[in-house]
Amino acid sequence: MTSRLLELQDLLFAWPGTRQNYLAISEFHLNRGETLFLHGPSGCGKSTLLSLLAGVLLPHTGDVSLLGIPWKALPATERDRYRVDHLGYIFQQFNLLTYLTALDNVLLPCHFSTRRREAAKHHAGSARKAAEYWLQGMGLDESIWQRPAHKLSVGQQQRVAAARALIGQPDLVIADEPTSALDEDSRAVFLDLLLSSCAAADTALVFVSHDHRIASRFSRQISLPSINQALHNEVPG
């Protein structure tokens, strides 16, 4: 089995209505279990690259493959299913369904993905136990598991989001500036928990941030402008 998880070849991407390429990356890859720190100035295309890696956007030329399967080769509905089976997300903000409890939020991917549900069962005996395991792993006390998401602090919400991304041990977690809303202490705690949990789940991590101080915590660091050969000043709409 190849150790390559994610592969990107000869990628060209332009936003509709523009002639200039926004991203032009000849080669990029991520191995299984690897943690990658992706950085670059605002508007350099980090979120666009994440969308391409996750198959939300498709490149005009070139391929982005997850586990050897190019996103392009899958029909839209298949892409949705493949994505949830193999990918977990942590957004910058607005991560949880506020009307669900912390536990129910973590369980969400298991309702939509059979693969994740089975993996969670295999790992902890049941999806619920797996959710409790990851909540505990994120340092969240049992007393808040049944608390509605809107009653949690921002730091707690991000940790619940991380637990949700990790349940069912997906092959890859994409985190788009998840620490930007946290203070320094919470940021350090969150990062410790996320990295150790990814290691425990053997999950690769693509972590986007502006904060270079934490870059050394990752196995690899990449500056997007250094691999993007497209010259652009435009910020995507």
Partner 1 sequence: MSKLFLIQLAWRSAWNRRFTLALTICSIALSTFMLLGVERVRTDLRSSFSSAVSGTDLVVGARTGSVPLLLYSVFHVGAATNNIRWASVEAIKHLRGVAWVVPLSLGDSHRGFAVLGTTQDYFEHFRYGEQQPLQLREGQRFSKLYDAVIGAEVADRLGYQLGERITLAHGTGEVSLGADHSDKPFTVVGMLARTGTPVDRTVHISLEAMEAIHVDWMAGAPFPGMQINAEETQKMNLQPKSVTAAMVGLHSRAAVFSVQRQINNFTEEPLMSILPGVALDELWDVVGVGEKALLLMSSLVALVSMAGLMSVVLAGLNERRRELAILRAVGASLQHVLLLLALEGALLTLTGVILGITTLAGCVLVLGPWLQSSLGLTLVLVEPTAMQGILLATLLVTGWLASLLPGWRAYRLSLADGLSPRI
For partner 1, the closer CB: 1 or 76 = 76
- Our CB check for partner 1 shows the closer of 4 and 115 to be 115
**What one-character-per-residue DSSP string does 143-159 give?**
GGTTSBGGGS-HHHHHH
Question: Closest distance between partner 1 and the C-beta of residue 54, in Å?
Answer: 7
**Min separation Cβ 164 and partner 1, Å:** 7
In one-letter notation, the amino acid at residue 68 is G
Sign of CA dihedral 6, 13, 214, 92: negative
Work out how close the CB of 90 gets to partner 1 at its nearest, in angstroms, rounded to a whole number: 9
How far, in Å, CA of 53 to CA of 56, rounded?
Answer: 8
Residue 134 is classified by DSSP as H
Quickly count: other Cβ atoms within 10 Å of residue 61's Cβ.
12
Q: How far is the CB of 128 from partner 1 (least distance, A)?
A: 13
* Spatial CA neighbour of 150 closest among 213, 225, 95, 84: 95
Integer Cα distance of 94 and 132 in angstroms: 22
Instruction: State the DSSP H helix or E strand holding residue 175, giving kind and residue range, or none if neither.
Output: strand 172-176
Nearer of residues 60 and 111 to partner 1, judged by Cβ: 111
Closest distance of CB 44 from partner 1, Å: 13
Residue closer to partner 1, measured from CB, 92 or 186: 92
Which C-beta is closer to partner 1: that of 26 or that of 41?
41
Contact residues toward partner 1 (CB under 8 A) are 47, 50-51, 54, 56-57, 76-77, 80-81, 83-84, 89, 91-100, 108-109, 111-113, 116, 164, 176
